[in-house]
Amino acid sequence: MNSVIQGLLATKSLEELIMFRNSGHSGFEPPTPQRSPLLVNGRGPEGDRKEKEGGMPVGTVFIRVLEKAWAGRDAGDKKEQSPR
């Protein structure tokens, strides 16, 4: 499981989708995160953000783990992380 999460963390396209960025590096138009109920559930840019709803706990935890890992990476932290 750890190697799967590490692989997902290294996926630039997934990071761009979840963080609402589009660098166009892949040469094709990525899916729009605004169309995903999970991605706009209490997060995202103003105008796309929806009021926070329950009912998606696994997806919400997954996104939080990814965001925490990317923030740590960008800050240069070398700490171990746990999804718990």
E strands, the chain, are none
Report pTM: 0.67
Q: How confident is the model at residue 83 (pLDDT cuts 50, 70, 90)?
A: low
Do the beta carbons of residue 47 and residue 38 sit within 8 Å? no
> Could you report the per-residue pLDDT of 10-22, keeping only the tens digit for each?
888 888 888 877 7
3-state helix, strand, coil in the chain (%, to 5): 45, 0, 55
pLDDT per residue as tens digits for the range 30-66: 567 677 777 777 777 777 777 777 778 888 888 888 8
